[in-house]
Amino acid sequence: MVGTIFAKCGKYSRNEVEETLRTLLARTGGLKQFLSPGETVLLKPNLLSASTPEECVTTHPEIVRATALLVLEAGGKPFIGDSPGIDSFSKVARETGMEEIARELEIPCLELDEPAALTMAEGSVFQRVEVSRRALQTDRIINLPKLKTHAQMMLTLGVKNLFGTVVSHRKAEWHYKVGLRRDVFANLHLDIARSLAPCLTILDGIRGMEGRGPSNGTPRDFGILAVSPDPLDLDLRVCALLGAPLKNFPLYRAALRRGIVHRDEDWSASGLPDGFVPPEIELPQLDALHLLPPFFDRFGKHHLASRPVQDEKKCVRCGKCIEICPANAMAFQGTGRIRIDYEKCIRCYCCQEVCPADAIRFSKGFLLRLLELFRR
């Protein structure tokens, strides 16, 4: 089977996106290699929040449109679906352009609701995970991630995008269970991706996000599209392509420890034109808490990890951080200031992830300051 293939694509013009995607899929043997006529196909974009396409928080609607069109041509029955963590699905569908695409192509755009038990793949670390019943009842899944950085997991690409099939509030529950352990969280993402087994992953890397992603970073042109039958393979090749250290990527460490990948593998990109060099990505700074054994979690959380802090000048008092907090560690005070109970706070940084005003900053923990000192 063909592996991950990349192509240069510089803008979101309808013709260029569609032509590039057709070319990529032709090199895999065509979309009919991945689905059969009459099958229902979930198109799973990244719909983190009610953000416009220009903000680069969500998968661009032209990527979704081109994919849906090709599925229709192959005889499939596509529908767009996701489960946003905080905003209502109707608002997210409207603001991200998904509602318009669904209307144009006359396909459903549905919230991934109603949790049901996922049948876990052999070798899974987690034995019970619930995702949306709609994701389980569809015949095929085409995974449509956005190329972005992530303040907790370094990068959010193909594998992590499938965590979006976990129904809304259940995501926060998983953050609470996992706490500080990024590599454990990466194992959860791996288990979901391997159990759902999307037939294809198509990465929107034309314009993505760097810095403090997944919602408050800086939009950045990367100029690539990629397709792969294996989201993990795609993620690791993207990581290497952008000059991000694999050893710092929790997903890579988890896959390496489980023997899914091997240390001496070549993660170079295939299909890009000679001389094409995408820009190195500005990564978020992560506390290196994975260096500590699990029994140091409580000590590390309170004394070593970076703390979320409200930027009162930027804060718009929307309350999304309070609503999403899985540990119920945040509350408004009378003045509109947010009080954070650091004894309860689990340092999952969900508050930063959903803040629409970039009003959650981090007070650097001791470990991060120590690492910066050694880098000088």
354 falls in which pLDDT band (50, 70, 90)? confident
DSSP code per residue over 224-292: EEEEES-HHHHHHHHHHHTT--GGG-HHHHHHHHTTSS-TT------SPPTT--PPPP-PPP---GGGS
Residue 46, CB half-sphere, CA atoms under 13 Å: how many? 30
Do 232 and 341 reside in the same domain of the chain? no
Neighbour count for residue 270 (Cβ, 10 Å): 12
- In single-letter form, the type of residue at position 188 comes to L
Determine if the pTM surpasses 0.85. yes
**pLDDT value at position 291?**
45
Judge if 326 and 208 occupy the same domain. Answer: no
Give the model's confidence band at 371: pLDDT under 50 very low, under 70 low, under 90 confident, else very high. Answer: very low
Task: Look at the chain and report how many structural domains it folds into.
Answer: 2
In a domain, 281, yes or no: no
Say yes or no to pLDDT of 299 above 60.
no
pLDDT score for 49: 93
Residues 93 and 159 in one domain: yes
The answer as to whether 278 is a domain residue is: no
The CATH number of the domain holding residue 361 is 3.30.70.20
244 and 355 together in one domain: no
For residues 166 and 99, membership in a common domain is answered with yes
Burial 344-376 (b: 16+ CB within 10 A, else e): ebbbbbbbbbbbbeebbbbebbebbeebeeeee
- Residue indicated by tokens 């269970």: 177
Long-range (24+ apart) CB contacts under 8 A made by 263-268 are: 267/236, 267/237, 267/239, 267/240, 268/237, 268/240, 268/241
Domain-embedded: residue 276: no
Pair (80, 167) in one structural domain: yes
Top pLDDT among 326 and 297 is at 326
Residue 267 in any domain: the answer is no
Strand duo 77-82 + 40-45: pairing: parallel
Lowest-confidence range among 26-40, 42-56, 255-269, 343-357?
Answer: 343-357
Tell me, yes or no, whether 67 and 188 share the same domain: yes
> Quick check: 93 pLDDT over 80?
yes
Q: Could you give the count of Cα atoms lying within 13 Å of 16 in the half-sphere of its Cβ?
A: 11
Is residue 301 located within the same domain as residue 251?
no
CATH code of the domain containing 9: 3.40.50
Mark whether 196 and 342 lie in a shared domain. no
Please report the pLDDT score of residue 349 as a whole number: 81
Same domain, 315 and 185: no
- Residues 194, 343, single domain; the answer is no
Residue type, 355: C
The share of the chain scoring above pLDDT 70, in percent, equals 91
Identify whether 268 is part of a domain.
Answer: no
Q: What is the per-residue pLDDT for 105?
A: 98
Does pLDDT of 139 surpass 90? yes
Closest CA to 116 of 131, 126, 99: 131
Q: Is residue 68 part of a domain?
A: yes
Query: Which of the listed residues 257, 278, 302 is the one where a domain comes to its end?
Result: 257
Domain boundary among 257, 281, 309: 257
The verdict on residue 265 lying in a domain is: no
Residue 24 falls inside a structural domain: yes
Q: Are residues 297 and 242 in the same domain?
A: no
Domain enclosing residue 45, as ranges: 5-257
Helix (H), strand (E) counts: the chain? 14, 15
pLDDT average, residue stretch 105-119: 97
